[in-house]
Structure 1
Amino acid sequence: MESSPLTTHVLNTGDGVPASRMAVSLHRLDSQTMIWSMLSVGTTNKDGRCSGLISREAFCCGTYKLHFETGSYWETLGQTCFYPYVEVVFSITDPQQRFHLPLLMSRFSFSTYRGS
């Protein structure tokens, strides 16, 4: 797939390492029915990145969410966490731009921002 207009990068800031092997899914909200539709699923690589979430052709204006399976990730490390998953909801008004949404997390906190 051509370079995705939407990328993410997950960092385990508690341990100072990329969060590899984390399940990630991308969803779009139907503005008529207000129901989320899953568009794609993926897994972060050894650098904590998940590529190929959506093609430029499929990317349009609307409300999206990235769903990160944080609980399962921590469980594979033999640890527990406070947040079983994290969802980041965002609006796209110009699909011609590139969007990078990193997730910085520890077992008891998370933050995100719009990067480039």
Structure 2
Amino acid sequence: MKTLSTHVLDAMTGTPAVGVGVTVTDTSGGTVAVACTDDDGRVTSLATDLTVGVYRLRFDTGGYFAATDVTAFYPEVVIAFEITDTVEHYHVPLLLSPFAYSTYRGS
């Protein structure tokens, strides 16, 4: 079964980004899952049993930075990725700061 998780780290503070809203959408734009990062900046089981296709993770970075009273440039981060394997786990981390972000295929 394919599963999806994420981890958001705040590069400005060097700590997990707690309470970041995360939405998963499928190729048609339909909502697959909605969650918030936990005290470790993680959502360990964001979605399960995903089919092959292109998905998007939308992170509410504007809400996160507003809650911490930080002015930021990106109100959201959207990461598109493709699921191609029927049994792999997919982990998509986000390293976040008010004026930059990066991501990679995690394990």
TM-score for the superposition, normalised by structure 2: 0.95
Give the secondary structure class of the aligned counterpart of 2:46: coil
Work out the CA distance in 2 between the residues paired with 1:95 and 1:48. Answer: 27
Query: Gaps spanning 5+ residues in structure 1: where?
Result: 30-34
In the alignment of these two chains, the number of paired residues is 107
Work out the CA distance in 2 between the residues paired with 1:88 and 1:68. Answer: 8
Work out the CA distance in 2 between the residues paired with 1:51 and 1:43. Answer: 10
Give the secondary structure class of the aligned counterpart of 1:65: strand
Max Rg structure = 1
Q: Which runs of 4+ in 1 moved over 4 A?
A: none
Q: Does 1:80 align with 2:71?
A: yes
- 1:32 aligns to what? none
Identity of aligned residues (%): 40
Work out the CA distance in 2 between the residues paired with 1:61 and 1:40. Answer: 16
How big is the shift at 1:4? Answer: 6.9
CA RMSD of aligned residues (A): 1.4
TM-score for the superposition, normalised by structure 1: 0.88
Work out the CA distance in 2 between the residues paired with 1:95 and 1:74. Answer: 36
Q: Which has the higher strand share?
A: 2
Is residue 24–residue 69 contact of structure 1 (8 Å, CA) maintained in 2? Answer: yes
> Residues 75 and 60 (structure 1 numbering): CA distance in 2 closer, same or farther, change over 3 Å?
same
Give the secondary structure class of the aligned counterpart of 1:75: helix
Q: Aligned partner of 2:6: which letter?
A: T
The equivalent position to 1:54 in structure 2, one of 47, 50, 54, is 47
- 2:57 aligns to what? 66
Q: Aligned partner of 1:46: which letter?
A: D
